[in-house]
Amino acid sequence: MPELVVPRLSVAPAVRAAADDPSLLPDGIDAAPRGMDDAQLAAWVESLHADTREGTPRPEGFVPSTHLWWVEGDDYLGRVHVRHRLTPWLRELGGHVGYSVVPAHRRRGHATAMLAAALPVAAALGIECALVTCDVDNTASRRVIERNGGLFADQRGEKLRWWVPTG
């Protein structure tokens, strides 16, 4: 059974392997560990833990986030992060929650289950309704949000916005 865990070193090489796969061209957080050596990888995992803490220095406009990995043993299936609060930009486009599933594991219900598992984490952070957004043409993500009880809010540019009750 897959489970949602805080980033851990035993899984990190699999996360790096997913980022390193040149055929997949991951971007954003998914690309972060690309090409890292083991020391850099360990530091990156630690930085994900540190990102949950309010006092951690971060670039202007960034907010604390809880990063979680969807794993089965030491196999890495996907990731989700929960931003602890919204900035004007996040309220408009980014939302509280971001996620991705490793391509080889897609279309097996992992994203749907992973978001469901992340909602109590958002609730524990005091987020009663999580804003989740996706591109208008991202049918899969749209289904994931709908399956998790998302209430459609509106479209802003190329983004669709939903409020997902966390309780």
Ligand X SMILES: CC(C)(COP(=O)(O)OP(=O)(O)OC[C@H]1O[C@@H](n2cnc3c(N)ncnc32)[C@H](O)[C@@H]1OP(=O)(O)O)[C@@H](O)C(=O)NCCC(=O)NCCS
What Rg value do the Cα atoms of the chain yield, rounded? 15
Neighbours of 5 (CB within 10 A): 12
Per the CB < 8 A criterion, the answer to whether 52 and 66 are in contact is yes
Q: Which two tokens stand for residue 71?
A: 């794993």
Distance between CA atoms of 83 and 127, rounded to whole angstroms?
Answer: 10
Q: How far is the CB of 2 from ligand X (least distance, A)?
A: 11
Of 50 and 153, which CB lies nearer to ligand X in the complex structure?
Answer: 153
Q: How far is the CB of 142 from ligand X (least distance, A)?
A: 8
Of 91 and 143, which CB lies nearer to ligand X in the complex structure?
Answer: 143
Of 66 and 141, which CB lies nearer to ligand X in the complex structure?
Answer: 141
Of 140 and 151, which CB lies nearer to ligand X in the complex structure?
Answer: 140
Instruction: Give CA 145 to chain center in angstroms.
Output: 13
Q: How far is the CB of 73 from ligand X (least distance, A)?
A: 18
Q: How far is the CB of 109 from ligand X (least distance, A)?
A: 5
Can you tell me whether residue 107 is helix, strand or coil? coil
Binding site for ligand X (CB under 6 A): 99-101, 106-112, 134, 138-141, 143-144, 147
Distance between CA atoms of 113 and 110, rounded to whole angstroms?
Answer: 5
